[in-house]
């Protein structure tokens, strides 16, 4: 790679780099893949899974025909009770060990446990503007997509076992290890079932749940490959050329070590391009649904439009750990940056490498509505008039403020707006001293900047620091030592009205 290519890559967004690397190694059509196990509610980590793949598939379209397939691992065994369904624990425990596609939806609103959460996933994908080809693993198995490869893996069991052991860095492997898990014909359990004998596609097994001893054949599709074998196998028959995995999967001995080894040593081919993405963090701690660390997806969607959440995830390098925090310290700076980048797009004023990457991240968000109003101003005007329509008019962006209204309302209800922007107008007493002197300097035709500058003129005239004058005025105006920009506040209230209230 020459110096010009190195410099070009330094200026590229991570999604462009991955697409360039994939296109350099493979020929179109490019198949991008991602997937989840529908065993519980969608969490922010799921957003990473489907949004990163979406961004890469969009970039690959510049290099040729590209498609995006998202796999729901609904043939995995049901192995836990998700928090939202705790009241149905007894029912769920009866179905433990069944494929998620076979287990009952305890709420009775969907045909299976898996479909209950698949429906939620599809709805959230729609909210984020992501429309992959959605595939269920249970259907891939039932259609026989795995059969050819299951035979290969079973007939080369000892070789495959050695590959798994070495790639996963295990000292030993279970004596009864086998590449597939049979589905019990009696109780439909698929978890920890043991294959007793195998020959030419036929196998005898014993169920770990009901102890049933049965016999079946691969072509009947009543089985599931072990996860470390399932993943590379589906990549092969779906012709996947690029797929991501979290840091955990990329660790030494992690799942992707086995995925690569199976592709190379059993299927005699190079694996797909396997990119790594960092952890999602909340104030320095890894997101954890069980420990209650971080936002839920539904909470995030009440705090910010989907485009903004996408921007937070797309902006840093994909391998970096990402802070996804929406609070009074982060919201305003994030909104201001998002608005600034939108303006860069309109003017094409991209001054440096970092700004270009932010602009690409913004473009990937497929923003349909952007606001031009300053958020602090909109909240200032609302706190004066308690009317979002009026706030929109005064901000000069009625449509933008209207779009943000539901989010702004939630921020104020939840105390996520910085304290300086939250206030109530008082002006209940006549003004005196510094306040009266300051107000005597104001004229009805003055704009916000002139009003603000008048504070400094008074301070200079009195030989005191401006902060003393500000403190006195804010105290009379809103009963606080500080607040939003004073000139804008008085301008919005109206100089005449303020002076009348002060008796000036």
| pLDDT of res. 83 | 83
Question: Buried (b) or exposed (e) across 258-297, using 16+ Cβ within 10 A?
Answer: bbbbbbeebbeeebbbbbebeebbbeeeebeeeeeebbeb
Among residues 237, 243, 231, 246, the alpha carbon closest in space to that of 272 is found at 243
Give every CB contact of residue 308 below 8 A, 6+ residues apart in sequence.
Answer: 334, 335, 338, 365
- Bridge partners of 390, per DSSP, are none
CA angle 243, 247, 249 (to 5 degrees): 65
CATH of domain 423-504: 1.10.10.350
Q: Are strands 30-36 and 242-246 parallel, antiparallel or unpaired?
A: parallel
Domain boundaries, the chain: 11-145+227-281, 180-225, 423-504
Residues 6 or more apart from 155 whose CB is under 8 A from it? Answer: none
Q: CA dist 148 to 180, 200, 219, 268, 271, Å?
A: 13, 12, 9, 15, 19
Q: How far is 231 from 259, CA to CA, in rounded Å?
A: 7
What's this model's pTM, rounded to 2 decimal places?
A: 0.92
Q: Percent of the chain having pLDDT more than 90?
A: 88
Beta strands 202-206 and 213-217, pairing class: antiparallel
Residue 331 predicted with pLDDT over 70: yes
Q: Cα–Cα distance between 324 and 367 in angstroms, integer?
A: 19
Q: How confident is the model at residue 349 (pLDDT cuts 50, 70, 90)?
A: low
The answer to whether 232 and 264 are in contact (CB under 8 A) is: no
Query: Tell me, which fold does domain 11-145+227-281 have in CATH?
Result: Rossmann fold (3.40.50)
Instruction: Kindly tell me if the per-residue pLDDT of 292 is higher than 90.
Output: no
| Share of residues in the chain with pLDDT > 70 (%) | 99
141-173 per-position pLDDT tens digit: 999 999 999 999 999 999 999 999 999 999 999
What is d(CA 141, CA 128) in angstroms, rounded to the nearest whole number? 29
d(C-alpha 218, C-alpha 372), whole Å: 60
């Amino acid at each position: 790679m020459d110096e010009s290519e190195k410099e070009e890559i330094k200026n590229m967004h991570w999604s462009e780099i991955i697409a360039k690397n994939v296109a350099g190694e493979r020929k179109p059509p490019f198949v991008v893949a991602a997937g989840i196990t529908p065993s519980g509610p969608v969490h922010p980590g799921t957003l990473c899974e489907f949004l990163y793949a979406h961004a890469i598939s969009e970039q690959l379209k510049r290099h040729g025909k590209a498609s995006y397939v998202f796999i729901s691992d609904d043939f995995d065994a049901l192995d836990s009770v998700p928090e939202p369904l705790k009241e149905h624990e007894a029912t769920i425990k009866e179905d433990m060990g069944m494929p998620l596609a076979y287990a009952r939806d305890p709420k009775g609103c969907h045909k299976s446990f898996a479909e209950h959460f698949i429906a939620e996933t599809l709805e959230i994908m729609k909210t984020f503007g992501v429309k992959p080809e959605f595939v269920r693993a249970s259907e891939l198995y039932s259609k026989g997509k795995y059969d050819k490869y299951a035979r290969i893996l079973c007939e080369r069991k000892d070789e495959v076992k050695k590959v798994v052991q070495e790639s996963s860095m295990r000292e030993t492997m279970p004596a009864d290890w086998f590449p597939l898990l049979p589905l019990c014909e009696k109780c439909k359990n698929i978890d920890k079932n043991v294959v007793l004998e195998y020959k030419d596609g036929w196998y005898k097994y014993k169920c770990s749940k009901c102890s049933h001893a049965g016999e079946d054949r691969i072509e009947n599709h009543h089985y599931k490959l072990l996860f470390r074998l399932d993943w590379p196998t589906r990549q092969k028959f779906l012709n996947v050329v690029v797929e991501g995995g979290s840091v955990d999967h990329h660790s030494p001995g992690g799942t992707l070590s086995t995925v690569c080894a199976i592709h190379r040593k059993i299927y005699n081919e190079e694996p797909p391009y396997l990119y790594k993405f960092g952890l999602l963090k909340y104030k320095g701690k890894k997101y954890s649904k069980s420990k209650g660390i971080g936002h839920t997806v539904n909470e995030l969607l009440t705090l910010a439009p989907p485009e903004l959440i996408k921007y937070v995830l797309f902006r840093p390098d994909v391998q970096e750990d990402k802070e996804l925090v929406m609070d009074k310290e982060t919201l305003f700076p994030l909104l201001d940056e998002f608005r600034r980048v939108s303006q860069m797009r309109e003017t094409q004023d991209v001054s440096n490498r970092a700004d270009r990457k932010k602009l690409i991240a913004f473009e990937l968000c497929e923003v349909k509505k952007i606001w031009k109003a300053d958020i602090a101003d909109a909240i200032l005007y609302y706190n004066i008039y308690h009317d979002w329509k009026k706030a929109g008019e005064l901000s000069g962006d009625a449509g933008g403020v209207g779009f943000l209204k539901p989010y702004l309302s939630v921020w104020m209800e939840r105390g996520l707006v910085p304290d300086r922007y939250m206030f109530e107008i008082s002006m209940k007493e006549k003004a005196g001293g510094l306040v009266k002197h300051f107000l005597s300097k104001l004229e009805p035709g003055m704009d916000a900047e002139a009003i603000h500058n008048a504070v400094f003129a008074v301070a200079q005239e009195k030989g005191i620091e401006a902060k003393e004058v500000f403190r006195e005025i804010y105290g009379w105006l809103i009963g606080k030592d500080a607040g939003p920009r004073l000139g804008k506040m008085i301008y919005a209230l109206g100089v005449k009205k303020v002076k009348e209230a002060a008796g000036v």
